[in-house]
Amino acid sequence: MPEACISHEYWQHFLDEAQLDAEQQMLWEARLSHAAINNRYPVTALASVLNDLIVNTSNPQLGLAVGRRMHLNQWGDIAHIMLSACTIAEALSMTIDHEDLINGAINTQILEDGDWVQHRVSFPELDDHKLAAPLVERDLASTLHIATYLLNRPILDKLELKAVHFCHDGPALFNEDYQNQCQYYVDVFGQMPLFGQKQNQLIYHKNILAEPVTTANPGIQPVLLAHLERQRQQIMTGSLTVQLQDWLRAQLQDEQGDKALSREQAANALGLSASTLKRRLHQEGVSYQELLQQVRIGYAQQLLADDSVSLTEAGFRLGFSSASAFNNSFRKSTGLTPKAYRQRLLLEG
């Protein structure tokens, strides 16, 4: 079974919040580019790189910061279905039904226990609570923040929040920034969470579920739901772009493979004519050469992260005819030569 993936937009929110300069952002994007599948990333790869980013930027509450500042437009088309809902309960239900379009790795549950709701979040494919921490904190913080938009008033003024639980560890007691980190949790949730718990969850009174959404427009829901379902089907069935990316990666990674990688070769491998391949890629908004360059540069970044692979060998394995051709192609895409990129990785590492 393929690993659950998370959208590029989701990852971009963390990069934006980290306030990196253009060159730094490009390097962090490159850390995941080789794992991209139709502009989505396997959750284990994303979580690992995200935790490296947190360490590198000395920002252990990056996920919390992203969630606290989430705007509705960052939810893409799902935002429209939230805004059309009649109540908070309906908005939650429809969001959970479609959140896999942005985050296919998350598992959200709304469990009622008497007068209280246990709003639980988990990432089943991440066994390490530390790896999951920024994703979990982002999600629970954004839940409260988005509810503020839907109700058109601060959610903590209306929500009777009984407790906030996290499975991961909290701020280290002897950390010099301990007080500030604790205060940030209080600012977001109105209270200090409990850490090292069995569930990641918000526990709140069920009355909030019946609160009306100020922008309710149920009449438009059938159109919105049909649009979201088409998006899901495209992700589930995969596109020609994804198939071609997979074939190109396999050819590059095969030491005996032909690195010429002409469009005719690719079309033949996919059971298409060259003209049909061109036409269908155009329909998906990409050309063969653009995709080949994207895959080549992604694999180049992967090779350059391995010190045992020389620059000459990397260029050869990528199918470039000369070192200058490799340099020019890589610099055109990344703004850096392969040598400068490797040196930057060492500095960032």
Angstrom distance (rounded) from CA 4 to CA 279? 30
Rounded to the nearest 10 degrees, the angle between the axes of helix 338-348 and helix 288-304 is 50
CA distances from 16 to 44, 75, 139 (A): 21, 15, 16
Angstrom distance (rounded) from CA 264 to CA 245? 15
Mean pLDDT split into 10-residue runs, the chain, 349 residues: 80 93 85 77 93 94 95 86 95 93 92 96 94 97 93 89 97 89 96 97 97 94 90 71 84 72 87 84 84 87 88 89 89 87 79
- In 3D, which of 282, 212, 214, 217 has the Cα closest to residue 244? 282
Report the C-alpha dihedral over residues 203, 209, 210, 214, rounded to 10 degrees: 120
Domains 5-232 and 239-348 share a fold: no
pLDDT at res. 236: 65
The domain limits of the chain are 5-232, 239-348
Query: Is 3.30.70 the CATH classification of the domain at 5-232?
Result: no
Read off the tokens for 199. 């569930």
pLDDT at res. 96: 94
Contact 127, 167 (CB under 8 A): no
- DSSP output for 310-329: -HHHHHHHTT-SSHHHHHHH
The fold of 239-348 is Arc Repressor Mutant, subunit A (1.10.10)
pLDDT at res. 237: 59
pLDDT at res. 184: 96
Task: Report CA Rg, the chain.
Answer: 23
Q: Which helix (H) or strand (E) holds 117?
A: strand 116-122
